Chains A and B, each alone.
Chain A
Amino acid sequence: MARARSHRYTESPVLQLAFPAWRSRLAALALLGGFAVLAGRSFYLQVINNDFLQEKGESRYRRELEISASRGRITDRNGDVLAVSTPMRSIWAIPADVKLTPEQSQNLAKMLEMDGRELNRRLAEDKNFVYLKRQIPPDTGERIAALKLPGIHQNKEYRRYYPSGDMTAHIVGFTGVDDKGLEGVELAFQDQLLGRPGFRSVIKDRRGQIVEDVGSVKPPQDGKDITLALDSKIQYLAFSQLKQAVDDNDAKAGGAVVVDARSGEILALANWPTYNPNNRANLSGAQLRNRAVTDTYEPGSTMKPFSAALALEKGKFRFDSVINTAPGKLTIGTATISDSHAHGLLTLAQVIQKSSNVGIAKVAGTFPPEEMWTMFDNLGFGQAPKLGFPGEVGGRLRPWKTWRPIEQATMSYGHGISVSLMQMVRAYTVFARDGELIPLTLLKGDGNPVKGERVFSPQTVREVRAMLEMAVQPGGTAPKAQIPGYRVAGKTGTAHKLEGGVYARKYVASFVGLAPASDPRLIVAVMIDEPSSGKHFGGDVAGPTFANIMSGALRTLGVPQDAALQVAGSNAGKEAL
């Protein structure tokens, strides 16, 4: 039937008219026109406007990946490594992606050395990111990566390792888990040590897998290495000798500093107690303190040579001016100053040699307060030494206008003024440098002597150095500070400690000295806090430690001897004049 129908219509001439050709042309043209529009649109999207679209695309799947930079090493002056970064891994998870069988979970916990329940608790957290464990060894990281656990990822990070451990802990300091310096040089030189992480640009698929690396890679800039002035051998010596002294004297704490008098470089800085920077669990504040820099103490008699120098400088006294120290007591206002041993008539040199409080107080009494204050100020007391160490202190030096006569007197022998051991060493550079005060530095210098600020004339300083030599010779306060083969100049300090505003029967014993006295190369300062095994005089407690450190350091540096191997005679000091 259908066939018949079709046949009939197709043969009808009327239908030819009813089937106008223009309609099919129009329909075909409309469709082809549509395709032309598509081609044009495609050209617009792909060739003309593609920058905009590509930018949109990059904002969706282009990611900047950080390439971690390694923190700079810290070495001593000879290149021995004191702090170094070793690569570690941190394991983290996207909890929603993690689907572990009980065996896998158990296995992972074992590798991470974690409690299985703790691991499951962390994986149950409703977060996009949780650390499972940080700073695990790289080989463990590799083994975990080999398990290909979904949702478990790892990052490369660094762990700081300190090969010399507690010996250099206070100088080097340490970093926190994010590579941020928290103490010591690690904090002081954070900017230099810190690397600048690099970036590589990658395209990631929607599931976070990296598809390809695209250009614009910024290479990581590793942190700069820091070379300290420190000499590991001398540091070891200072550290072990200090430890020995603290042990022997049942002391609470101690500090020792060795400085190169030519360059101002700090060759050693040791404190006790200390800590192991590689394992900082159970760390106490006392262990952490870098006492030589952050703690002040009343220095006692190590201050005396400065007043003697000022007296010589101003021409009020000569080397052999006689001062009456009898009867070993001096009353100023309501207070009385006393010597531990009464002496009688002493020359200025002997006042230093015997360490007479009365003698130096009488000398200081002749100074206008402003003059004395200016000297202290020129010596850097009351100002932090600006080494860059965290927590550096400047000690206490009150303005001269408030000084009472008794205070001026006590300050001449180191009470009523507080300083740090580092400040004391810096002030002693004037005696090692013929009157110049030089800045101290933690960093290794270029080997050239540094310029200083003149405080005293060379002539004054030579005379004071002679007095200081006398102090370590028989008849002085510190014969135990002598070193065979070298002439030593130095001064003891035995200060009462202030406790709650009252001087207690507790002491700080110290010794600051320089050698060889004919051409000083090193300054060594030793401070022992609260020696309590019977001896408390600086000459007995700190003197021998000073001698051991100084002689070892001189030998280490190969400093030529300037005295016979026998202990020098009592008039050696005079020859220096």
Chain B
Amino acid sequence: MSMVQALNQPRQEPTEVDMLLLWSVLGLLALGLVMVYSSSIATAEGSKAFGYQPAYFLIRHGVFLCVAMVAAAVAFQVPVKVWQELAPWLFLAGAVLLAVVLIPGIGRDVNGARRWLPLGFANLQPSELMKLFAVLYAADYTVRKMPHMHDLKKAFLPMAGAMVVIGGLLLKEPDFGAFVVIISIAIGILFLGGMRARLFAVLFVVLLAAFAILIIVSPYRRDRLFGFMDPWSDAFGKGYQLSHALIAFGRGELFGVGLGGSVEKLFYLPEAHTDFLLAVIAEELGFVGVLVVVGLFALLVQRAFAIGRQAVALERLYPALVAMGIGIWMGVQSFINMGVNMGLLPTKGLTLPLMSFGGSGVVANCVALAILLRVDWENRQLMRGGKV
């Protein structure tokens, strides 16, 4: 190729956003839609509550995805600075919603947990939104307290107080999964923001002790814990759900029984289209399918941290912490959900981000990733000498 020709080539424009991140997110969303449909067909077709329509969950999840895309598109237009300004207010609004959901007559009760606010056309799950607000707020808080990070009283206690309130509301529902995710986000962001290592170590021990006490005191959580330790000892009682999830994994082998071929989804595995979606993926698409999902989440988390570090390099601390916070959120929640599916962690009500059925979750996840992409976009604009 001659010099002239090379010069005449149209110049490769640098991409506007992180394409790896975008594709991994779209991949997870698409695979999620397919698997939600596959895992819910039998339940929907066989239940009066779902009008015996096989596509009941497919249609709803599809609508949620459309809403989420629109919300994400809107969120992408919002500068990160604006999110930072809004963060305390969003956090407050989230806390109010978490309180409202507990009011009898307003919050909707499903399977003994009051987690939903009926909006007529759909149900809003405030805890899903709260995860996003916690990221936005914790990042803002950390940035504000940065000069005092060595100071326990100034840096940690206010956040700890806020977490006690939020955590208390979440446990009241109860939504132990969201509690763990939000605490992880808050601590993770404080850690990244430079909170003293010794403090962090103490905090870690205290939290561990708190979890232990919580599990010992509450029979409901203790049972869940024991079910996870040995699902086969009470395989038709406490270990029922997990044992079926594990069977689904075993049946899948390397390449799976084929899309649509799951037996576990045929009324055996409860919550196949929500919390235990991965088990159906494992059965139908095999180890390869699970590896793809794990790999896409790992890529997503890696990109989130890469974007965050890029923001740090650009001295944009708030966007950096938001990006990494979203990475922690996605990473922790997907890790816990998949760990639960595989019997590595005690069963708790947590969905697989971007994939499981559920409107609030999908919308909140998509908005969060739109913000992550916005951080990246702003990084790229700044690197090109542009303004944000």
Contacts and interface: CB of A to CB of B under 8 A. Distances in A.
B192 A43 contact: no
A6 B263 contact: no
A51 to B, nearest CB: 8
Contact of B146 (A18, A57, A206): A18
Interface stretch (B6-14, B159-167, B220-228, B301-309): B301-309
B85 A46 contact: no
B294 A32 contact: no
A205 to B, nearest CB: 3
Given A39-B294, A54-B247, A203-B263, A9 B342 contact: no
B297 to A, nearest CB: 6
B249 to A, nearest CB: 4
Contacts of A41: 339, 342-344
Given A3-B81, A46-B287, A31 B328 contact: yes
Contacts of A35: 294-295, 297-298, 301, 331, 335
A23 B317 CA distance: 14
Given A6-B317, A53-B247, A38 B339 contact: yes
Name, among A20, A37, A53, the residue most crowded by chain B CB atoms within 10 Å (CB to CB): A53
Interface in B303-320: 305, 308-309, 312, 315-318, 320
B251 A53 contact: yes
Nearest to B305: A28
Contact of A46 (B191, B253, B318): B253
Contact of A6 (B84, B149, B294): B84
A56 B143 CA distance: 52
Nearest to A1: B85
**Residue from B146, B295, B308, B320 with most neighbouring chain A CB atoms (10 Å):** B146
Contact of A50 (B140, B192, B253): B253
A12 to B, nearest CB: 8
B335 A42 contact: no
A47 B251 CA distance: 9
Contact of B301 (A5, A31, A37, A43): A31
Contact of B315 (A11, A31, A53, A211): A11
A47 B253 contact: yes
B369 interface: no
B291 A42 contact: yes
B23 interface: no
A505 interface: no
B302 A28 contact: yes
A31 B253 contact: no
A27 B84 CA distance: 23
A565 interface: no
Contacts of B188: 27
A15 interface: yes
A45 B249 contact: yes
Contact of B266 (A2, A16, A56, A206): A206
Contact of B317 (A19, A53, A54, A203): A19
Contacts of B211: none
Contact of B46 (A11, A42, A51, A207): A207
A34 B331 contact: yes
Interface string B163-201: 000000000000000000000000010011110000000
B332 interface: yes
Contact of B291 (A39, A50, A205): A39
Given A31-B298, A56-B246, 5 more contacts: A24-B308, A31-B327, A41-B342, A42-B342, A56-B235
Interface of B: 42, 46, 81, 84-85, 140, 143-144, 146-147, 149, 188, 191-194, 232, 235, 243-244, 246-254, 263-264, 266-268, 282, 286-287, 290-291, 294-295, 297-298, 301-302, 305, 308-309, 312, 315-318, 320, 324, 327-328, 331-332, 335, 338-339, 342-344
Interface of A: 2-3, 5-6, 9-11, 14-16, 18-21, 23-24, 27-28, 31-32, 34-35, 37-39, 41-43, 45-47, 49-54, 56-57, 60-61, 203, 205-207, 209, 211
> Which 6 residue pairs of A and B lie closest in terms of their CB atoms, listed nearest first?
A53-B250, A205-B266, A206-B267, A31-B331, A57-B247, A45-B249
29 contacts: A2-B81, A2-B85, A3-B81, A3-B85, A6-B143, A15-B317, A16-B315, A19-B146, A27-B192, A34-B339, A38-B344, A39-B291, A41-B342, A42-B294, A42-B342, A45-B250, A45-B342, A46-B249, A47-B253, A47-B254, A50-B249, A51-B250, A57-B248, A60-B244, A60-B268, A61-B263, A205-B267, A206-B266, A211-B266
